[in-house]
Amino acid sequence: MTTNLTLISTVYKIEPVIVCATRFSPSRIILLTEEGAPEEKTRSEKLIEDTFGSVLKVEKRFTSLYDTVQVARDVAAIIEEENAKGQRVMVNVSGGRKPQAFGALFGAYARKEMVDKVVYVTEEDQFVVEFPLLGFGISDTKRLVLEQLEKGETSVSNIAKNLGISKGMAYGHLRELKSLGYVVEDNGFKITGAGRIAII
């Protein structure tokens, strides 16, 4: 029985994807891959396409291998696309390099309201571990402050002016964002990788 469920999956070996496909019965599988993937990974991708391609849609999406922020952006965009098609979404972070898997996890967190579950399949016994769906816990104003930093603004005064808030309020938001690890202070305020992920 197929459902309107899309499985977005990192991949290296075939087993975790097979476990998720047989246990959760997706109607679509989207495999995250990268240019120049190792032979074992491309072999696994082909086996997945050959195994499931006649009964459900299997698609490869290219993303970064080591740029966690880019992977998170790409996965968040895929989740939005699938959600717009009426698909439920689950994310499997079992395979591939850790930065790619973490990026997929962070992308799922960035769109947690559109994700049913995030799972990891253990190598030893193919046990499915379900991760909690966490969020980044920032207000709309803090998001706007981070977006200003992402655009290159570093001055508290300019951020306050651009957002129509007081300098004290802007500084207070920046202090809180710094305590969360989303901002660093170095000749002005600068957004961190975590901050970039938080505003996806």
**CATH code assigned at 83:** 3.40.50.10770
- Given a cut of 70, whether residue 164 has pLDDT beyond it is yes
pTM for the whole structure: 0.86
Residues 119, 150 within the same domain? no
Domain with 47, as residue range(s), is: 5-131
Confidence category of residue 136, pLDDT binned at 50, 70, 90: confident
Residues 107, 191 within the same domain? no
Confidence category of residue 188, pLDDT binned at 50, 70, 90: confident
Residues 18, 105 within the same domain? yes
**CATH code assigned at 186:** 1.10.10.10
Residues 158, 108 within the same domain? no
CA pair distance 94, 82, nearest whole angstrom = 21
Residues 116, 50 within the same domain? yes
Residues 115, 154 within the same domain? no
- Give the other-Cβ count within 10 Å of 80's Cβ: 14
Confidence category of residue 20, pLDDT binned at 50, 70, 90: very high
